[in-house]
Structure 1
């Protein structure tokens, strides 16, 4: 096993219900799905163990990653005494259909079945943080959270989270059972959550988990990233990586890179440090499949930014991002996560 990263990852409180995690999490998705072919299982298990040895305790997966194969991988990595050292986060809500399409589900029977499936694949008797991965706009959020509340009471999950949920949906959910964390895309080039969602989370004492804090790898490699993507990598279809947008976005990467050179760090470390500096209630979960990249991410915790440096970074990406986050109609995002009123629900 490679030596641990030189920076020992500190701990933080996530939300206000008692969950404590590492200030840097590990996104495990790319090990198994969406970012090209699955990576060799022994190497990925070794990477997870390396991250845990460096102080990472928050491991993030989902039942749609694969589907299912990433949970199985993480479950194997949890063996040999690792389970007791980590907080395990997984998600439900996205169903992969036989025809290649995806459906969003939040009805109680599905919630329960999904949880049971994840418990079995992960080989655990309790999930620390269980997210609704995408909001089912056919089911009142109160109904979905009501079933999750039952799973908490039964000891199958400890804490409830939401992913890609609007401020109003978060409020409605939190009124049924405390929401511990909201997962959202937050980076130098995805900042629209700052207007309503971040303030709502802070008002309610909800932790913030930032996924894709490096712009899906863009702040690591810049435009060169696109040249290295396999045909199986869904980033090839993302609007921000298309030729008509890439040239404009490259200018942002070049500015970040120039500032990073002045500070003696990499562009990815600077972009990640910016997320860390958003507050002690924010936990970024960059994904990686390489030990050296993990070590670089962990070292970003040592990069300090003065207020004027934060402002400079933000000026680069304030309004210059070209392209949407996702393809049109890819999956529900927080912009379209409103659900019907509870009064409209008729249980089957």
Structure 2
């Protein structure tokens, strides 16, 4: 993995949203006009001297895999939360500009699309494939020919191998740097899953593996069978569940942690207020933490983040991401976006630093706010924390 040296951090960071009391604003159009939709990975397109936008320089390790301190989630690049279809050329532009600014960690999954997000990512990173780490995930029961999602999960070893062949084609690559089991299959022993990954690693098709939203005992068994590089679970100021047991177990085993939804599906950016209602098809509309009854109470957390944004001369999104980065040196958030200014803002979070006293103060304040409502609908939560069956 090559370490990028161009560009420097600057205190003049772009802002995503106008937040109350901060008096800070930056028009997205001014950024977009400077960033061509045809940006490629060449020195001419890297941040020029005098460009005040941030370049990401920090690196972190997930097990033995070295990646940028902040990654890029590409889940919504085929269809957003609001079910709109982003412009493909601009998604490629965001992926490539992220690389130009130091991002070397890109997160996808077979289920995103399904399949289409992997195609977008493969096309996007093609000019610099050997300089980045790309991830994907298997585990849902998805038809490999049509992309149709069938009921339930499928982590049978023979199916995993078929899925990986499709991934390699869609991602335009000969290997996947980090491959996760998206959700634990309650019908397949994790030892059998690890066995399939061992074979794929021996063939050079997978370099590292991880699990997402798994049961604790399953993680221990998986790591004992084949060392796990990373766990990917939801984690943010809005949902701190992993702090209870998952993060301590990762620390014990030497496993990296990748928070998905590090900005609380947009909540921690300040873009949602008490009057917000969600479009049909937007999963946030059926999450009880965002219900009209709970949302006004939970906005106390956003107020706290906005206060710290003013204090640190940053944006709410940057405070939320910097807080995650400050929790452990092996935590790598992967904020997703379909807007160029948001991506640039997110990578600027790595420049926001807390003193030990500031972090302790912020942690106390976050802990004092009790979030009302569940993080996901029951029909989705049922797939989290599952333990794989014992090996016969």
Same fold (TM over 0.5): yes
Give the superposition deviation at 1:138. 1.5
Task: Quote the residue 2:31 is aligned against.
Answer: none
Relative to structure 1, is the Cα distance of residues 228 and 322 closer, same or farther in structure 2, using a 3 angstrom cutoff? closer
| Large movers: runs of 4+ above 3 Å | 1-5, 96-102, 224-230, 331-334
Task: Quote the residue 2:377 is aligned against.
Answer: 327
Give the superposition deviation at 1:232. 3.3
SS in 2 for 1:157: coil
SS in 2 for 1:330: helix
Task: Quote the residue 1:86 is aligned against.
Answer: 132
Give the superposition deviation at 1:281. 0.7
SS in 1 for 2:248: helix
SS in 2 for 1:244: coil
Give the superposition deviation at 1:100. 6.7
CA distance in 2, matches of 1:38, 1:148: 34
Q: For the Cα contact (< 8 Å) 1:45–1:73, is it kept in 2? A: yes
Task: Quote the residue 2:219 is aligned against.
Answer: 170
Give the superposition deviation at 1:184. 1.1
Task: Quote the residue 2:261 is aligned against.
Answer: 212
Root mean square deviation, CA, Å = 2.0
Q: Are residues 1:75 and 2:125 paired?
A: no
Q: Are residues 1:9 and 2:57 paired?
A: yes
Q: For the Cα contact (< 8 Å) 1:217–1:225, is it kept in 2? A: no
Task: Quote the residue 1:149 is aligned against.
Answer: 198
Give the superposition deviation at 1:8. 2.6
CA distance in 1, matches of 2:155, 2:78: 24
Q: Which one of the candidate residues 38, 49, 58 is aligned to 2:96?
A: 49
CA distance in 2, matches of 1:131, 1:226: 37
CA distance in 2, matches of 1:311, 1:196: 20
Structure 2 gaps of 5+ residues are: 1-34, 37-45, 48-52
How many residue pairs are counted as aligned between the two chains?
A: 339
Give the superposition deviation at 1:29. 0.3
Q: Which one of the candidate residues 311, 317, 339 is aligned to 1:290?
A: 339
Larger mean CA deviation between 1-10 and 139-148 belongs to 1-10
Cα deviation code 1:229-263 (max 9, x no counterpart):
43232222222211121111112111221222122
Q: For the Cα contact (< 8 Å) 2:274–2:295, is it kept in 1? A: no
Larger mean CA deviation between 309-318 and 279-288 belongs to 309-318
Cα deviation code 1:260-279 (max 9, x no counterpart):
21222111111111001012
Task: Quote the residue 1:21 is aligned against.
Answer: 67
Q: Which one of the candidate residues 91, 97, 110 is aligned to 1:63?
A: 110
CA distance in 2, matches of 1:228, 1:154: 49
Structure 1 gaps of 5+ residues are: 344-348
Q: Which has the larger radius of gyration?
A: 2
SS in 2 for 1:284: coil
Where does 1:201-280 land on structure 2 (aligned, <5 Å)?
A: 201-224=250-273, 227=276, 229-280=278-329
CA distance in 1, matches of 2:151, 2:316: 35
Relative to structure 1, is the Cα distance of residues 310 and 222 closer, same or farther in structure 2, using a 3 angstrom cutoff? farther
Task: Quote the residue 1:346 is aligned against.
Answer: none
SS in 2 for 1:282: coil
Q: For the Cα contact (< 8 Å) 2:189–2:391, is it kept in 1? A: yes
Relative to structure 1, is the Cα distance of residues 102 and 310 closer, same or farther in structure 2, using a 3 angstrom cutoff? farther
